[in-house]
A and B are shown apart, each in its own frame.
Chain A
Amino acid sequence: EPEVTQTPSHQVTQMGQEVILRCVPISNHLYFYWYRQILGQKVEFLVSFYNNEISEKSEIFDDQFSVERPDGSNFTLKIRSTKLEDSAMYFCASQGPNEQFFGPGTRLTVL
């Protein structure tokens, strides 16, 4: 069964450093998303992406965040200068005919 994959599974970084989180969506899907979940809180939408453009973004997705599809398979989330409050689980998702499929997540820890 096709699945969304994400790397790395865990990223530890120092405050102020840049991080890039990588995702490989399901191959025939066209719409991609990033969500985050701070420990103990609900899953929150960050950004949606279609046809090499951002289609919607939340208030969380400020100038420190960017997304890119550098090739035909990868979908990346970059955080330019990480803050302590960016520590969270980041989930990538891609849209199927009915529901969204989620990757296993990257746990980002900012020290």
Chain B
Amino acid sequence: RKEVEQDPGPFNVPEGATVAFNCTYSNSASQSFFWYRQDCRKEPKLLMSVYSSGNEDGRFTAQLNRASQYISLLIRDSKLSDSATYLCVVNRGGYQKVTFGTGTKLQVIP
């Protein structure tokens, strides 16, 4: 089983739609969880950290379910500028390496 697993997509959605991405991780000892965004041929950039209590940042909501080892990202009212690859990233804790999923590609269509 892959350490971090995501549906690669692509997800093609119209502007204004709500879209949800899921991610599962295999190491139950994982401590920190993130969603990064990667534009084509650019570096990953932090979108948001993910907490068990869930967290929201504007149109973006992230959830963590430790029991199911599952992370989600919800994007409401999609904009054209949201088109990118969304990377699920997991850390075993502290200053250890992070592990990336393959990413889910989102294309928002006018």
Residues of A within 8 A of B (CB): 30-31, 33, 35, 41-45, 48, 50, 55-56, 58, 89, 91, 95, 98-105, 107
User: A48-B95, A50-B95, A89-B41 given as contacts; is B46 within 8 A of A42 (CB)?
Assistant: no
Would you give the 0/1 interface string for B66-108, flagging 1 where the beta carbon is closer than 8 Å to chain A?
A: 0000000000000000000001000000011111111100000
Chain B residues within 8 Å of A, Cβ to Cβ: 32, 34, 41-46, 49, 87, 95-103
Q: SS class of chain A's interface: helix, strand, loop or mixed?
A: strand
From B32, B41, B99, give the contact of A45 (CB < 8 A).
B99
Pairwise interchain contact B95-A102, C-beta atoms closer than 8 A: no
B100 contacts A42, C-beta separation under 8 Å? yes
Q: Nearest chain A CB to B35's CB is how many angstroms away?
A: 10
Q: How far is the CB of B104 from chain A (nearest CB, A)?
A: 11
A-B contacts, 13 of them at CB < 8 A, read A31-B95, A35-B100, A41-B102, A43-B44, A48-B95, A48-B97, A50-B95, A56-B96, A91-B44, A95-B95, A102-B44, A104-B42, A107-B41
